[in-house]
Amino acid sequence: MTATRFDVLGIGNAIVDVIARTEDDFLVKHHMRKGGMQLIDETRAGGIYDAMGPAVEISGGSAANTIVGVASLGGRGAFVGKVKDDELGRVFAHDIRAAGVAFDTPPASDGPSTARCYVLVTPDGERTMNTFLGAAQDLHPRDIDAEAVAAARITYLEGYLWDPPHAKEAFLKAAKVAHEAERQVALTLSDAFCVDRYRAEFLDLIRNGTVDLVFANERELHSLYETADFDAAVGALRDDARLAVITRSEKGCLVVSREATEEVAAVPVARVVDATGAGDLFAAGFLVGLSRGADHRSSARLGALAAAEVIQHLGARPGTSLKELADQGGFPA
Amino acid sequence: MTATRFDVLGIGNAIVDVIARTEDDFLVKHHMRKGGMQLIDETRAGGIYDAMGPAVEISGGSAANTIVGVASLGGRGAFVGKVKDDELGRVFAHDIRAAGVAFDTPPASDGPSTARCYVLVTPDGERTMNTFLGAAQDLHPRDIDAEAVAAARITYLEGYLWDPPHAKEAFLKAAKVAHEAERQVALTLSDAFCVDRYRAEFLDLIRNGTVDLVFANERELHSLYETADFDAAVGALRDDARLAVITRSEKGCLVVSREATEEVAAVPVARVVDATGAGDLFAAGFLVGLSRGADHRSSARLGALAAAEVIQHLGARPGTSLKELADQGGFPA
């Protein structure tokens, strides 16, 4: 087996978040689906940006957030994703490297600009996302460094990779390399509407063993099995997946395997400031736990701790050292 | 008199802040003067950025922050400052316009990129600033719209304008236009080291009546009169300035005029998260009060309220409507 250099290697869309607080009216007026992610073109991006309030720019991207969370927890993380060689691309690259993550994907020198996600945060803390994929469209299988993937305990892939034209090929290449190196592959379903776009393919990935571990929130789970019956959907996922984690916001999560279904509570927070990154950071904690050989329950508790931190401030990256938080919480190093 | 269109028109360096938390060690290692602002060239900017941790980008610039504060308090604000036509320039322009401020300075189409300030926030909440002036170097007198200045009750100028080569000419042109239109001119001394660079000129501006109102913090005041004796410095400023406000962080402020010296308390906060913008937002409140005909004490209280809001979160722009805060605090509309 290749020597292990990374606990988790993530592949995803490299995005800078442009975050503004807004009222619910704004979402209605601009035809946004609250709590969801929709893809937008550059024209609509311009229109939304012109209409939205003063914003802050914070590096984002679902899998990228997860890997930064892994590093913040003291894990060794690597990320693969495409930016352009422009100002926001340099912001993305700086932030992920400064967080201690290995990031070596060459930036695109031409084509569309670095991806941006216009995130509208309503007073309830819910986030509604509008993504202009830009340079993230250009992730190709050649961007996958097979040696790095083989050197990672877990390769973590976001369902959003089904949106850009060649990224799914990069995804499949990475999964193949990982399994050939006897490594684990994890997938997040990303978003209920993303599941709606690629349901059959996602089910195939889960059923044919391309992925060993699936992360889904309730909405994504319902979308995957096209049912409003939670228990039926959980049962279906248990039959299809080797291991799955279903996150349920303040209700905690379920870790589902053939052997057992374990419920783990959320870490309570006084107020949800911005829910962006909750699922991403949950995955970070769970993956770090798993990569250290912790049991499912402990791994889920570490996930809950990381998610609780990120929803208490603006942005989807940790605002403090998660390792210190975990140490204070009595988690083993 | 020209019809009034603005309560306050600000002229300053148009800057995007790149903000990261750090330990005090970092400042020592990189030879930064804690709590101050130093000018850096592009090479040093690159070196600092490479060394600093993950950051967030939030529009800044001292006078720009003040004018956004004016708008947030329900005042009519306009801003003059130079960005480049690049991604961060568009971020700056979006944010200030989205805050309700009139901003019509044409961006530079070539030359250096939009100004950035690398802000290091230490655990005590103090901020240490490193400014790459970039496109802000290119503010010229031709960027001053005389009609807009004549239509503003108060023109507010930052001392930092002495750094770019032609901005002081823009400053002087604006002051002249304002006085010809029987308007008021206010100046912030900006930074103790800035005062050190331009002491004689700043004293001239104050003594010869180019400015009617001066804002200074304690360090700037000590620097202006090169004395460690606070009372002596206050006395000297009373002799030189028509009206001055000396801000003293948690100790509140002094409003100094020939007739009286009034002490106004600070608004207490549980914890200073990031002191960036405290002086800028104090000025916003004071200027809005003044432009509405409030007395000095009420104006200073509005300043203290605005400053207290901005130091409780990252970044130098209000995170909530200051008008609503003021309404709740019983300030007259």
Residues A188, B94: Cα–Cα separation, whole Å: 34
Quick: pLDDT tens for B167-205.
999 999 999 999 999 999 999 999 999 999 999 999 999
SS3 category, B272: coil
In this structure, how many other beta carbons lie within 10 angstroms of the beta carbon of residue A182? 9
Query: Which residues is B282 bridged to in the sheet?
Result: none
User: Could you tell me which residues come within 8 angstroms of residue B260 by beta carbon, excluding any fewer than 6 positions away?
Assistant: none
Closest to B57 (Cβ–Cβ): which among A54, A57, A99? A57
Average confidence (pLDDT) over B49-73? 98
User: Could you tell me which residues come within 8 angstroms of residue B156 by beta carbon, excluding any fewer than 6 positions away?
Assistant: B8, B9, B10, B11, B63, B66, B67, B186, B187, B188, B283, B287
Chain A residues in contact with B53 by the CB 8 A cut-off are 98-99
The first and second tokens of residue A1, run together, are 């087996």
| E strand intervals along B177-328 | 184-188, 213-217, 243-247, 253-257, 261-264
Mutate which: A52, A91, A274, A321, vs B, most B CBs within 10 A? A91
pLDDT above 60 for B290: yes
Using the Cβ of B47 and the Cβ atoms of chain A, whether some distance falls under 8 Å is answered with: no
Chain A residues in contact with B87 by the CB 8 A cut-off are 86-88, 113
Using the Cβ of B99 and the Cβ atoms of chain A, whether some distance falls under 8 Å is answered with: yes
Residue A213's closest CA among A157, A174, A163?
Answer: A157
ipTM value: 0.94
Nearest CA distance, B54 vs chain A (angstrom): 4
Closest to B54 (Cβ–Cβ): which among A54, A113, A317? A317
Percent of chain B with pLDDT over 90: 97
Count CB pairs under 8 A between chains A and B.
57
SS3 category, A48: helix
Is A68 in Cβ contact with B99 (below 8 Å)? no
Residues B79, B69: Cα–Cα separation, whole Å: 12
Residues in chain B: 333
User: Could you tell me which residues come within 8 angstroms of residue A239 by beta carbon, excluding any fewer than 6 positions away?
Assistant: none
**What are the φ and ψ backbone dihedral angles of B141, each rounded to 5 degrees?**
-55, -30
| pTM metric for this prediction | 0.95
B90 pLDDT band, cuts 50/70/90, is: very high
Closest to A95 (Cβ–Cβ): which among B54, B96, B319? B54
User: Could you tell me which residues come within 8 angstroms of residue B34 by beta carbon, excluding any fewer than 6 positions away?
Assistant: B24, B27, B122, B126, B128
Contact between residue B158 and residue B284 where contact means Cβ atoms under 8 Å apart: no
SS3 category, B129: strand
Residues B123, B120: Cα–Cα separation, whole Å: 10
Average confidence (pLDDT) over B295-324? 96
Residue A221's closest CA among A206, A209, A208?
Answer: A206
Q: What is the DSSP string of A227-262?
A: -S-HHHHHHHHHHH-SEEEEE-GGG-EEEEESS-EE
pLDDT above 70 for B332: no
Quick: pLDDT tens for A139-177.
999 999 999 999 999 999 999 999 998 999 999 999 999
The first and second tokens of residue A160, run together, are 């959003």
| 3-class SS shares of chain B: helix, strand, coil, % to 5 | 45, 20, 35
Using the Cβ of A42 and the Cβ atoms of chain B, whether some distance falls under 8 Å is answered with: no
Give the full edge-to-edge strand order of the sheet including A261-264: A102-103, A77-80, A6-11, A152-158, A184-188, A213-217, A243-247, A253-257, A261-264
Residues A317, A308: Cα–Cα separation, whole Å: 12
Chain A residues in contact with B59 by the CB 8 A cut-off are 54
B2 pLDDT band, cuts 50/70/90, is: confident
Is A98 in Cβ contact with B55 (below 8 Å)? yes
| E strand intervals along A22-169 | 37-39, 56-59, 77-80, 102-103, 115-121, 127-132, 152-158
Average confidence (pLDDT) over B230-253? 97
Mutate which: A17, A23, A87, A310, vs B, most B CBs within 10 A? A87
Using the Cβ of A49 and the Cβ atoms of chain B, whether some distance falls under 8 Å is answered with: yes
Closest to A58 (Cβ–Cβ): which among B52, B56, B87? B56
Quick: pLDDT tens for B91-135.
999 999 999 999 999 999 999 999 999 999 999 999 999 999 999
Is B49 in Cβ contact with A317 (below 8 Å)? no
Percent of chain B with pLDDT over 70: 99
Residues A70, A101: Cα–Cα separation, whole Å: 9
Q: Please name the residue that has the structure tokens 């009519």.
A: B76
Chain B residues in contact with A20 by the CB 8 A cut-off are 98
b/e map of B292-331 (b: 16 or more CB within 10 Å)? bebebebbbbbbbbbbbbbbebbbbbbbeebbebbeeeeb
Using the Cβ of B57 and the Cβ atoms of chain A, whether some distance falls under 8 Å is answered with: yes
Is B56 in Cβ contact with A98 (below 8 Å)? no
Dihedral of the alpha carbons of B117, A59, A74, A260, in degrees to the nearest 10 = 160
Is B88 in Cβ contact with A55 (below 8 Å)? no
Q: What is the DSSP string of B87-117?
A: HHHHHHHHHHHHTT-EE-PPPBSSSSPPEEE
Mutate which: B42, B50, B56, vs A, most A CBs within 10 A? B56
Residues B12, B15: Cα–Cα separation, whole Å: 9
- Residues of chain A numbered 64-93 and touching chain B (CB < 8 Å): 68, 86-88, 91
Nearest CA distance, A120 vs chain B (angstrom): 14
Using the Cβ of B113 and the Cβ atoms of chain A, whether some distance falls under 8 Å is answered with: yes
Residues B23, B120: Cα–Cα separation, whole Å: 9
Give the full edge-to-edge strand order of the sheet including A56-59: A37-39, A127-132, A115-121, A15-21, A56-59, B56-59, B15-21, B115-121, B127-132, B37-39
Contact between residue B291 and residue B8 where contact means Cβ atoms under 8 Å apart: yes
Is B56 in Cβ contact with A56 (below 8 Å)? yes
**What are the φ and ψ backbone dihedral angles of A38, each rounded to 5 degrees?**
-125, 150
Q: Is A144 left (phi over 0), alpha (psi -120 to 50) or beta?
A: beta
Chain A's closest residue to B53, CA to CA, is A98
Residues A109, A153: Cα–Cα separation, whole Å: 32
The first and second tokens of residue B234, run together, are 């206050």
Residues B44, A263: Cα–Cα separation, whole Å: 52
Domains of chain A: 6-328 (3.40.1190.20)
Is B57 in Cβ contact with A56 (below 8 Å)? yes
The first and second tokens of residue B297, run together, are 């004490």
Contact between residue B102 and residue B129 where contact means Cβ atoms under 8 Å apart: no
Residues (pLDDT < 70) of chain A are 332-333
Using the Cβ of A220 and the Cβ atoms of chain B, whether some distance falls under 8 Å is answered with: no
Quick: pLDDT tens for B151-166.
999 999 999 999 998 9
| E strand intervals along chain B | 6-11, 15-21, 37-39, 56-59, 77-80, 102-103, 115-121, 127-132, 152-158, 184-188, 213-217, 243-247, 253-257, 261-264
Q: Fill in the amino acid letter for B266.
A: A
